[in-house]
Structure 1
Amino acid sequence: MYIGSTDTRGLMHCMWEIIDNSVDEALAGHGTHITVILHADGSVEVRDEARGMPVDIEPRTGLSGVEVIHTKLHAGGKFGGGSYNATGGLHGVGASVVNALSSRLDVEVDRNGATWAMSFRRGVPGVFDGPGPEAGFTPDNRLRKVGRVAKAKTGSRTRYWPDRQIFLKDAKLSGTQLAARARQTSFLVPGLKITVDDRRVAGDEHVDVHLHEGGISEFAEYLSEGEPVTDVLRLQGSDRFTETVPMLDAAGAMTPTDVERDLDVDIALRWGSGYENKVSSFVNIIATPKGGTHVQGFERGLVRAFGKALENSRLLKAGEEVIKDDILEGLTAVVTVRLAEPQFEGQTKEVLGTPPVTRLVARVVEQELTEFLTTSKPALRPMARAVLEKAVGASRTRVAARVHKENQRRKNALESSSLPPKLADCRSNDLERTELFIVEGDSAMGTAKLARNSEFQALLPIRGKILNVQKASVADMLKNAECAAILQVVGAGSGRTCDPDQSRYGKIIFMADADSDGAHIRTLLATLFFTYMRPMIEAGRVYTAVPPLHRFELTNPKRGQEKYIYTYSEAEYQRKLAELTKRGVGFKEPQRYKGLGEMDADQLKETTMDPRHRQLRRITVEEGESLEQAIATFEKLMGNDVAPRKEFIVEGAYALDTERIDA
């Protein structure tokens, strides 16, 4: 729950938690240098020169501050009057969660003229008798004094070994992601130097240093693309709000308490001549890639400011309006807010959830941006005018595109008679209900016609295997009868013009035999949709049906017991076979389906087409590494380059169980 997953993403999130603790100190004005070391043994070390973790005994628990920070949830090692206040919000869990997920974690703290040390194994404090996580371990929760330092020297050093019993074998730390995060943080905390020392590969060690004095203005400039329409603008402000949070009282009970919070808003933005927008948001330098209440407030403030500025500008004609998307066109923005103990939707901190932030950010943005857009300063007026004209132009382009799309839709409706004659359409036009089954072969098509619900289920048969569009040109794809028919029937367009909202059906379902040929056909169909109708996949509209592999027919079923039992995988078949045999249930020789055509209509309906009983697998792809991996996989398996595909097949052949080959 706290790190999101046990793959590379979760492994990286553990590192972010430890790094962010040091960055928090830098934000508070303590320490200007953080070093991150990736060791060859898979461990990660984070060093800072801040105040050092508390080493005194915390009175309520009787434990040292270092142990509280690393073993107690919601007991953040923050400093000041509320050093050890625990709240019900999502804060103070990072170090303790990383500790629990580490086979070894070592902490050293320079404070009070001494170096203090403590080690943990999977969250339990103790002493190791040697280096590395495999060394002997003796439980011991004493904070050890291991050296002396100058009284003025302070700082913390944390080194941990991720627990490989928890994380997947192929989970690896990403140097690219670490460099990007370090660069991003150095922009967000001006004057903070972050050194990344990668020692994982002997002979290929390298050190990267990130330091940016320009802050988020420099960050917005770095992220911007294309010719600028404006200089980088800075919108800044602060406000207060009251938040009710549960806090520990003297008796150790959680009591709702009203707390006054300070909110600092700092936004850098620049409009460029392009059409794409890029809004990067952060809370206390923690990236929130999925936005949250601060981004909602930013967008609300933008719309209000432009609305006020355009009222008296005479740029809009009667009946015209500018919406959020028009304003965001070509915008690059870095939205940062700082507040104590923000509420996140999950410990992975991708979405800010503190409700009052929306209102306060909107107020700051509206006030600051309105002042710029309505300025009378000669140096700023041309830029303000250019931004307003850009938004109005985007609005008119959007309206023109919508009119063109509506005209095209009417044209398509008039041409609906040209839909392929082999399409067995459904009667409903409700996009939420309708389904298009792309069916392998005419034999299965005949059975499917009898099995479907013609109210909302349409059928389109394809003959054999369609064209591999990964190798073919667009022209060849359009010339292919099967591919052209699919594009025409789906009706969402292709390439850049593909729009899931224009699809004639809510779900597109591949229905092919449960054999190697059927798998090949599903792969070819997936290649077509991924290459030319990717927005349909991203919208979650594309599925594969899961027909059964086996059928048990019970010879003497009891009352209320189904006569036919279907299994959908080899493992499920073996389990069901063992279960029926153990219970002494009689059954005929199990039937192994080779194809959809072997089922009668009732069987096909019950197992594969009826929404009440069927199984569907949704084909999905996400932005980021998942999308890049999907592109690389399609290119390897379906592209023109034969050598990588041959290597993939040869490698897979060694893992194949020859006993499973039906020959």
Structure 2
Amino acid sequence: MVTESYSATQLQVLEGLEAVRKRPGMYIGSTDSRGIMHCLWEIIDNSVDEALAGYGKRIDIILHSDSSVEVRDQGRGIPTDVEPRTGWSGVQVVYTKLHAGGKFGSANYGAAGGLHGVGASVVNALSSRLDVEVDRNGKTHAMSFQRGHAGVFQDAGDPSPDAAFTEQPGKAELRILGKTKKGVTGTRVRYWADPQIFVRDADFQIEQLRDRARQTAFLVPGLEIELEDLRDPEAPSVENFKYEGGISEYVEFLAPDGPLTDTWRIQGSGSYTETVPVLDPKSGHMVSREVEREMQVDLALRWGIGYETVQKSYVNIIATPKGGTHVAGFEAGMLRTVRDEVQKNARRLKVGNDKIEKDDVLAGLTAVVTVRIPEPQFEGQTKEVLGTPQARNIVQKTLADGLKERFSSTKRQDKTEVSMLLEKVVTEMKSRIAARAHKETQRRKTALENSSLPAKLVDCRSNDVERSELFIVEGDSALGTAKPARNSEFQALFPIRGKILNVQKASLADMLKNAECANIIQVLGGGSGRTFDVSQIRYGKVIIMSDADVDGAHIRTLLLTLFFRYMRPMLDEGRVFAAVPPLHRVVVQNPGKKPNDTVYTYSEAELQQLLKKLERSGKKYVEPIQRYKGLGEMDEDQLWDTTMNPEHRLLRRMTMHDAAEAEAVFEMLMGSEVAPRREFIVEGAEEIDAQLIDT
């Protein structure tokens, strides 16, 4: 019920951590698994900030079976002495006071991910129990909290949030648990997320945690992170992450394709001034002062033979998935520098009057953009976007200087890589322009429109994409049999002339010049590469119908390579199939005037099984048994019954459960490197049954 009167007596003032518990979404985004993970990031980032400042080389993350999580580090440890204004220990201040911490100035941390001083206190407020132990000054200090309030739990055995709790209002006791060895420092935090705050199915996501641990180990070379999952006592797991190569090694890990260039590392720095409020130690108040900032930029980038773009950005090792000013500077510097270089070589590259765009440059690029700034400006506590305006110009200048140095290098390797890069960028530009020009012709034409589809296409009558099927057949002989055999209502045919281009070795420009590849792309109507749009595909199924011999298998592999490289969403959605025509036709003789039966088998083993069955039953069959090597050997009724009739046919769906493994197999079988392919053939030679090879 809403009252008509509204006075100051009805205003509520939330003290301390009450505001966090009342509106948790303001601090952690949500109260589902994303919020659970954000709390854990806050604790982990505090430990990483210590390692980033040069204190400690190891962090342990433990997921316990009682739904708690523990983070251990070897940093300096939270200050345990008394904070003069509150009279409380540093531990109690950090975990119970919002906007309290050691990262508001630059004296303690040169560049840190935690900036707002709310991370540890917010996690504490949203935990049914939080225990912290600090090794510092030769002693182990401890303090416990329940939903943000300091006190003591009466644990009978293992620590539990349900144990009896005695609150200590005001200044709480910082307990001494024992002594430590000389020089040993660090912090251990263990907490239980509060079920009163988080939804029932909120839980720690091990995949996200694994990715974050790996990412952090890449960004802080030499830092060892151990992830221990004890939630299932019967199957505990331990994973260790440590990398010495930094972001250069990270780029190699992220890259989804083979290399076109080596990984280029570009580093630099820049300074700027900004006016910020600074705490005056004499008055105790914040006063505005102009301070000098130093920003460090570290970039690693590599172009690959594919067209996918993988770009990661970080500020003080905190991921910024939505970018910000540093990413804007990176992309602006990339586009301007590459565009200038292309213009310098316009005649050789045959650019004409067309202009390079950002997507042309980013095609096939894998890049990691990292900056380190004292007190960066983030948009919100979730820190997904960097807002520091000066970062744009510094990153742009650093990248431009590094690329110009690489472009002007006289080393043979650098000149070769730059030349291949510029050719790739120009090819991407031409592909984009060609895709735009052919966009309309790639759609299904009506009877009233002028169709510019290839003349060899034998189209179907139906406009229902979900029902329609395109059979890619091998040669005109197969087309001659398939044309009268098909159901022209929903089945279309497109013949190809022998073996198409091996697109795993060829460039994008060569692929577009190849008539067979270009025609297939045009018939399907969805474009190719970065411009591919699966929603524009004209057929619900694409069925590769090749002969059942070595050449047919080769043609099928070449076609799958084309789909994998330039129309991968078709494979992701399971819309590419291989027809499975029969290998043998067995005519079983029936006694008397009863017509003979025809049985088709699809493998040698199936044939032998059939023949044994016929022999046991005393039935005879016509010899020699017909062995189909080509689709053209069938008549139209046989082809329809065995291979094209949806009620009887057998199709093999082409899928990709593991794109990385598929990429490796395609590269080995169809790529330009001969040695891995030779090794594969030699090792697999012993497994081949010579009797099964057609000779």
Q: TM-score, normalised by structure 1?
A: 0.62
Alignment match of 1:181 (pick from 207, 212, 222): 212
Aligned twin of 1:160: 191
* Contact 1:261 1:339 (C-alpha < 8 Å) held by counterparts: yes
After superposition, the Cα gap between the structure-2 partners of 1:473 and 1:318, relative to the gap in structure 1 and judged at 3 Å, is closer
After superposition, the Cα gap between the structure-2 partners of 1:479 and 1:189, relative to the gap in structure 1 and judged at 3 Å, is farther
1:344 and 1:234 mapped to 2: Cα distance?
26
* Contact 1:374 1:384 (C-alpha < 8 Å) held by counterparts: no
Alignment match of 1:244 (pick from 261, 275, 278): 275
After superposition, the Cα gap between the structure-2 partners of 1:498 and 1:382, relative to the gap in structure 1 and judged at 3 Å, is closer
Deviation at 1:80, TM superposition (A): 8.4
* RMSD of aligned alpha carbons: 3.4
Alignment match of 1:344 (pick from 378, 388, 391): 378
- The letter of the residue matching 1:320 is D
Deviation at 1:229, TM superposition (A): 0.6
Residue 165 of structure 2 corresponds to residue 137 of structure 1? yes
* Contact 1:270 1:333 (C-alpha < 8 Å) held by counterparts: yes
Larger CA Rg, structure 1 vs 2: 2
1:332 and 1:3 mapped to 2: Cα distance?
30
Aligned twin of 2:414: 380
Aligned twin of 2:67: 42
* Contact 2:104 2:115 (C-alpha < 8 Å) held by counterparts: no
SS in 2 for 1:369: helix
SS in 2 for 1:297: helix
- Cα displacement string for residues 574-631 of structure 1 (whole angstroms, at most 9, x for unaligned residues): xxxxxxxxxxxxxxxxxxxxxxxxxxxxxxxxxxxxxxxxxxxxxxxxxxxxxxxxxx
After superposition, the Cα gap between the structure-2 partners of 1:400 and 1:407, relative to the gap in structure 1 and judged at 3 Å, is same
1:330 and 1:494 mapped to 2: Cα distance?
20
**1:48-59 mapped onto 2 (5 Å cutoff):** 48-59=73-84
**1:374-453 mapped onto 2 (5 Å cutoff):** 374-405=408-439, 415=449
* Contact 1:298 1:365 (C-alpha < 8 Å) held by counterparts: yes
Which 5+ residue runs of structure 2 have no aligned equivalent?
1-25, 451-463, 472-487, 491-524, 538-568, 574-695
SS in 1 for 2:399: helix
SS in 2 for 1:10: helix
Alignment match of 1:360 (pick from 394, 398, 406): 394
**1:577-596 mapped onto 2 (5 Å cutoff):** none
Residue 289 of structure 2 corresponds to residue 257 of structure 1? yes
1:125 and 1:474 mapped to 2: Cα distance?
68
* Contact 1:76 1:83 (C-alpha < 8 Å) held by counterparts: no
- The letter of the residue matching 1:300 is A
1:238 and 1:411 mapped to 2: Cα distance?
56
- Cα displacement string for residues 105-133 of structure 1 (whole angstroms, at most 9, x for unaligned residues): 11100001111111111111111111211
Q: How many residues align?
A: 444
* Contact 1:273 1:330 (C-alpha < 8 Å) held by counterparts: yes
Alignment match of 2:45 (pick from 20, 30, 36): 20
Residue 333 of structure 2 corresponds to residue 305 of structure 1? no
- The letter of the residue matching 1:355 is P
- The letter of the residue matching 2:419 is R
Aligned twin of 2:655: none
After superposition, the Cα gap between the structure-2 partners of 1:329 and 1:234, relative to the gap in structure 1 and judged at 3 Å, is same
Alignment match of 1:371 (pick from 405, 417, 439): 405
* Contact 2:104 2:375 (C-alpha < 8 Å) held by counterparts: no
Deviation at 1:27, TM superposition (A): 0.7
* Contact 1:103 1:121 (C-alpha < 8 Å) held by counterparts: yes
Residue 171 of structure 2 corresponds to residue 146 of structure 1? no
- The letter of the residue matching 2:251 is A
SS in 2 for 1:195: strand
* Contact 1:306 1:373 (C-alpha < 8 Å) held by counterparts: no
- The letter of the residue matching 2:34 is R
Aligned twin of 2:681: none
Aligned twin of 1:66: 91
* Contact 1:75 1:84 (C-alpha < 8 Å) held by counterparts: no
* Contact 1:46 1:158 (C-alpha < 8 Å) held by counterparts: yes
**1:223-622 mapped onto 2 (5 Å cutoff):** 223-250=254-281, 251-314=283-346, 315-405=349-439, 415=449, 498=533
Which 5+ residue runs of structure 1 have no aligned equivalent?
417-466, 481-492, 503-530, 536-663
Aligned twin of 2:590: none
After superposition, the Cα gap between the structure-2 partners of 1:393 and 1:475, relative to the gap in structure 1 and judged at 3 Å, is closer
Deviation at 1:257, TM superposition (A): 3.0
After superposition, the Cα gap between the structure-2 partners of 1:78 and 1:154, relative to the gap in structure 1 and judged at 3 Å, is farther
- The letter of the residue matching 1:134 is D
- Cα displacement string for residues 511-568 of structure 1 (whole angstroms, at most 9, x for unaligned residues): xxxxxxxxxxxxxxxxxxxx99x99xxxxxxxxxxxxxxxxxxxxxxxxxxxxxxxxx
* Contact 2:435 2:527 (C-alpha < 8 Å) held by counterparts: no
- The letter of the residue matching 2:123 is V
Aligned twin of 2:232: 201
SS in 1 for 2:228: strand
SS in 1 for 2:438: helix
Deviation at 1:82, TM superposition (A): 4.4
**1:631-650 mapped onto 2 (5 Å cutoff):** none
- The letter of the residue matching 2:244 is E
Aligned twin of 2:556: none
Deviation at 1:348, TM superposition (A): 1.3
253-262 or 168-177, which moves further after superposition?
Answer: 253-262
Deviation at 1:282, TM superposition (A): 0.9
Deviation at 1:4, TM superposition (A): 1.2
Aligned twin of 2:5: none
SS in 2 for 1:390: helix
Residue 242 of structure 2 corresponds to residue 211 of structure 1? yes
